Amino acid sequence: MAKVTRDDVARLAGTSTAVVSYVINNGPRPVAPATRERVLAAIKQLGYRPDRVAQAMASRRTDLIGLIVPDARQPFFGEMAHAVEQAASERGKMVLVGNSDYVAEREVHYLRAFLGMRVSGLILVSHALNDLAAAEIDAWDARMVLLHERPEAIDDVAVVTDDLGGARLAVRHLLDHGNAYVACVGGTA
């Protein structure tokens, strides 16, 4: 069976392909309600599905957000990935997740792959952002949020916690409440 095209939808609806595009993309121009209904009925009848790859190539952007985490099996990163996916879904975006497994080369691999896919934005949780990763970030024009670490050379938005200061506050709090001994049990460092 031949692939249904925007031309087929326009022909059945009695409109131009531009009007079909305006209906599919909700703009940039308004479409009369009756015409919109004809286009939607033609889309349904023909089973038309827009080619998202072609749209991305034409607009040089996608509805994708890249998320690179050290290990999505860890509850913190799993919860974060879920929250990012929910927020993205509410805005019509999809999330690609990459696990760096705390390996700098894998982090760079996902950076290159996601940026090469022209993601609309990238969230990077880096455990040790190296010079190669920083160079990749600097070479692409993408919206990015860095979590956990931000090298001086990169001026993108970053959410960085004071791990040592937070640990000091937590230990001080526990000691002030009469605990004689405080220990920390952690994973990979």
CA pair distance 28, 21, nearest whole angstrom: 9
Report the pLDDT value the prediction gives residue 183, as an integer from 0 to 100.
Answer: 87
Assign domain 61-162 to its CATH superfamily: Response regulator (3.40.50.2300)
pLDDT tens-place string over residues 83-129: 999 999 998 889 999 999 988 889 889 988 988 888 888 888 887 66
**How is the chain split into domains, by residue range?**
6-50, 61-162
Homologous superfamily of the 6-50 domain (CATH): lambda repressor-like DNA-binding domains (1.10.260.40)
User: Any residues with CB less than 8 A from the CB of 170 and at least 6 apart, and which?
Assistant: none
For residue 189, name the pLDDT band (cuts at 50, 70, 90). low
What is the separation of C-alpha 10 from the centre of its chain, rounded to a whole number of angstroms?
Answer: 33
* Distance (Å, whole) CA 107 – CA 100: 5
Q: What is the pLDDT of residues 13-53, one digit of tens each?
A: 999 999 998 888 777 888 999 999 999 999 999 999 887 76
Q: Is the dihedral of CA 117, 55, 120, 71 positive or negative?
A: negative
What 3-state class would DSSP assign to 29? coil
Residue 145 has pLDDT above 90, yes or no: no
Which 3 state secondary structure label does DSSP give 49? coil
Enter the tokens of residue 189: 């460092």
Per-residue tokens: 148 = 């956990």
